Structure 1
Amino acid sequence: MKNHIIQFIILATIFSFTSCGLFVKKINFTKEELDFFNVYNTNDVLVFQNLTTKERDTSVIYSKRIYHEYDWLRHDNKVHCVNIDYKNSKYKYPGYQEKSESMFGYCIGENDTKYCISFTYLKSNFKIFNDTETKSTETLTVSKKNFNNVYELVYKRPKFNGGTDDDPEILCWDKKYGIIKYITFKGEIWERVNWD
């Protein structure tokens, strides 16, 4: 009886090592993909100003998490995920309490070969592919800051979308600072004004 217990413990230990992924290759983001996610940290504040009305809008990075997920029994389905949530003064629950929205909620799996960064800001979804071109320079009007190699991304809103004309249609993304500017569907230009 004692030998059966020892054999059971040995088999359970071996099973747990293989199913926990110690002998299975982990899927990881590339350095370039992580550069996009590491632009922001928890509690970062992004302040944007409307060029016409001088109104300001603030987003705060609420949480940031990078993790591996996998099926304990079928460890062949490993994925690497990132999740960045933010709060914005425009998003409120009925009791006027701010709620968080997901900026990045993105996973890659073992069979994913096409490089694509997908993120959402103020209800508009943007994608950066490995062949997405950058603008050579972008100059902000308010802060007079210059940026090189900025992604100018366009949101192709579906015809029957519940969005509004206040949502971003064009977004400028810098690899060091993230979102530096966006233009809404009704043409309002919002530039980031805080850089500390």
Structure 2
Amino acid sequence: MRNYLSVFIIFFIFLTFTSCGLFVKKVSFTKEELQWFNVYNVKDTLIFQSLSTQIKDTSIIVSKELYHDYDWFRHDKKGHCMDLTYYNKKYKYADYNRKTETMFFYCKRDFYDKNPYYLGLTYLRSSFKIDSTTVIKDLEILSLSNKSFKNVYELKCRRMKYHGGTDDDPEILYWDKKYGIIKYITFNGEIWERINW
């Protein structure tokens, strides 16, 4: 009986160590991947102003999380995830309470490492893909603040024909490595520039 008990205890200890991830390969983000995520902190406020109407719009970063995604049944497929959410006055539930939206959500798993790197970004109902083919502009100058930025990512939204969005959604978004979103142009051609730094 003691032999069975000792075998059971050894088996239980082994199972506990493998379940806790001691023998599991952990995946981490590269410096390039984290540069997109680390631009913002919780409670950062992004204020944009329309060039044509002078109306202002504000987005506030609500949460920022890096965590390991864990699958209890497949211990060898542990992923590392990043999640960044914000709220904007355009997003409300039916009861008029604030609704948060995800700006970044990206998980990296060891079995996906062979695929080409890309990151998805969503802002005001428009989705953008950042990869090796993304256009980088040498110089972008903002009219309202007279600020200039070098090596700005120009991201284009390619929405489907039957997309549920409106023409007020961003079509082109400009991203700076230090400040994040600095400007966007909607599908109807309205230009919004960031005015707070």
The normalised TM-score by structure 2 is 0.94
Paired position in structure 1 for 2:193: 191
Paired position in structure 2 for 1:13: 13
Preserved contact between residue 135 and residue 155 of structure 2 (Cα < 8 Å): no
Alignment: residue pair count: 195
Percent identity over paired residues: 59
Paired position in structure 1 for 2:156: 154
C-alpha distance after superposition, 1:84-143 (max 9, x if no partner): 110001111122221101111221222222110101000000011023231001111111
Aligned pairs for 1:123-142 (under 5 A) are 123-142=125-144
The reply on whether 1:114 has 2:119 as its aligned counterpart is no
Instruction: Tell me by how many angstroms 1:4 deviates.
Output: 3.4
- Runs of at least 5 residues in structure 2 that lack an aligned partner in the other structure: none
- Counterpart amino acid of 2:163? N
Paired position in structure 1 for 2:178: 176
Distance (Å, rounded) in 2 between the aligned partners of 1:98 and 1:89: 7
Moved more, 94-103 or 166-175: 94-103
Local SS of the residue matching 2:83: strand
Moved more, 10-19 or 36-45: 10-19
The normalised TM-score by structure 1 is 0.94
Local SS of the residue matching 1:111: helix
Local SS of the residue matching 1:166: coil
Paired position in structure 2 for 1:42: 42
Distance (Å, rounded) in 2 between the aligned partners of 1:134 and 1:78: 33
Preserved contact between residue 170 and residue 187 of structure 2 (Cα < 8 Å): yes
Local SS of the residue matching 1:102: strand
Distance (Å, rounded) in 2 between the aligned partners of 1:124 and 1:52: 21
- Runs of at least 5 residues in structure 1 that lack an aligned partner in the other structure: none
Q: Kindly report the root-mean-square deviation, in angstroms, between the aligned alpha carbons of the 2 structures.
A: 1.3
